[in-house]
Amino acid sequence: MIIPFTVLLAIFVLLGGCGTSPAKGKAVLQGDNRDAVNFSGFWELDYSRSDNAQEKLDGIVRELNRDAQRRAQGNMRQGPGGGLLISATGNNTSSSILGVVRLADEITQSPLLEISQDPHKIRVEREEEFDLTCEFYPGELRQVETPFGTEICGWNGHQLVFKLLLPDGLSIQHVMTGGAAGQKLKIATTVVSSQVSFPFTLNRVFNRFEPGDDGYRCEVTLTRGRVCTTESR
């Protein structure tokens, strides 16, 4: 896969604040394709059913503030403007949390997917993002060493999992799950960092559609972000 510069920049910024530690969660998958699902087709993002990164970040800040206030530790400080009470050093600094959220949001921006799949492999083409590809091996996961880190992919029951293990305890995982009689697709993207004490997950929900003769027009809105709608040609 080819990772865009903006995503690489977000990864390198996040890694810049990490200390050396082993990657987390390396052996959590079971290579089993007996319940494999066919995700082939075209998919469009359902904004109303998908997570909003800013809203999830606000929720994390509120929870951390409540926890900090309960513990009332002397090594906590108030951040400028937002009343953000998190550690000034170590895990859960403001920069490390924002880095994880930014990375998760950056790699889940695509409003449209085109998926091609056969019994041996899958390719998930994502507009403006790097493709996700995997070759299937009966009863086992595919693992490849790349200049960026270790890529692991394969079936875990009825879910398809893509995982990238990066240096210094950073990992990115996409879990694809089908639903609603094959008309919906959920992709849960989780970023784990050694500098943040919890994983951060964004859920994106997609609806199946047939392109036909319709085109797509996309615009950026204040309330819903980027919105793509069909238009007749």
Tens of pLDDT along 140-170?
889 999 888 999 999 998 999 999 999 888 9
Identify the H or E element spanning 98: helix 94-106
Strands 159-166 and 150-156: antiparallel
**CA proximity to 218, closest of 232, 230, 206, 204:** 230
pLDDT of residue 223: 56
Q: What is the distance between the alpha carbons of residues 189 and 163, in angstroms, rounded to a whole number?
A: 10
Decide: 233 and 213 in contact? Cβ < 8 Å: yes
pLDDT of residue 101: 94
Would you list the DSSP string of 155-172? EETTEEEEEEEETTTEEE
Determine the average pLDDT of the residues in 106-132: 91
Strands 225-232 and 112-118: unpaired
Tens of pLDDT along 47-105?
999 999 999 999 998 888 888 788 765 554 555 554 444 444 457 888 899 999 999 99
The amino acid sitting at 149 is G
Angle between helices 53-71 and 94-106 (to 10 degrees): 160
Reply yes or no on whether the pLDDT at 42 is more than 90: yes
- Interior CA angle at 127 toward 209 and 29, to 5°? 85
Strands 159-166 and 142-145: unpaired
Q: Encoding tokens for residue 111?
A: 């409003």
Q: What is the largest CA-CA distance in the chain?
A: 63
Instruction: Tell the burial category of 98 from Cβ atoms under 10 Å away from its Cβ (0-12, 13-18, 19+).
Output: middle
Domains of the chain: 5-11+24-232 (2.40.128.20)
Q: What is the distance between the alpha carbons of residues 43 and 226, in angstroms, rounded to a whole number?
A: 16
Decide: 37 and 109 in contact? Cβ < 8 Å: no
Tens of pLDDT along 172-200?
999 999 987 889 999 999 999 999 999 99
